[in-house]
Amino acid sequence: MNGQWLEINKDDQSTFSGYLSLPPTGKGPGIILIQEIFGVNEHIQQVADQYAMDGYVVFAPDVFWRQEQKVTLGYDEVSFKKGLELYNHCNMQTARDDLIKAVNFLRQRSEVTHKIASIGYCMGGLLSYMVGAENAVDAAICYYPGGIDQQLSTASEVNLPLLFHFAEKDQYIDDKAVKTVTKTFAKKSNAWVLTYPNVDHGFNCWSRSMYNQEAASLARGRTLEFLSIFLNK
């Protein structure tokens, strides 16, 4: 794949980086791919490459750069503790603003020929929604977004297309939170809240024990359909 790390200049002259993956044609609609607590690791880079093969220009920004640059953790217990520590010291509003900067960076690239969506997982799912709520992207997709029920105070003003993927047996997101999200967006014609039965948090990640091929492929198909509709208008 045509993947590489690129730096983004911040207004205060500081920089952070992200992994850019280009499609075989070299151009297409854009995706901001937002990491889990494990950083822009091998799995996230592979997911970026996967969507690039579908024709998208994919950029995965380094969310934790203010704490530690280019975090690439695995999925063992030690890595989980390290990722959780980084997450607990991450200011989500600042991370959102950094991601908006990354969106603007991607929009300025000649390879991006259409609109841009955000796709995020867990922590990244929440950030995908937060970036969408600021109208920084044209559509937002959120995989098992932890804490999403605490970020809905301005949901009535959010009008971009939204797609939520939740796990029925999620050990980190309870059923009450999912019902809150479902109720909040029930009357919006361009928002879909989908729940996958008998799977756990992280079901999309093939590097984790909770990976579920059936749910992951179904969610991916729905995501691709959603992207094809809302990024090419």
- The beta strand positions in 105-232, using DSSP E, are 112-121, 139-143, 162-167, 191-196
Q: Is the confidence at residue 85, as pLDDT, over 90?
A: yes
Confidence class of residue 1 from pLDDT cuts 50, 70 and 90? low
What was the pLDDT predicted at 9?
Answer: 79
For domain 2-230, say whether CATH 3.40.50.1820 is its number: yes
Name the pTM for this structure.
0.96
Structure tokens at 195: 């729940």
What was the pLDDT predicted at 114?
Answer: 86
Q: Which of 67, 65, 121, 63 is nearest to 92 (CA)?
A: 63
pLDDT tens column, 96-145: 999 999 999 999 999 999 899 999 999 999 999 999 999 999 999 999 99
* Averaged pLDDT for residues 172-177: 95
pLDDT tens column, 61-82: 999 999 999 999 999 999 999 9
Query: In sequence order, what are the residues at sequence separation of 6 or more whose Cβ sits closer than 8 angstroms to the Cβ of residue 141?
Result: 117, 118, 119, 120, 128, 162, 163, 164, 165, 223, 226, 227
pLDDT tens column, 21-30: 999 999 999 9
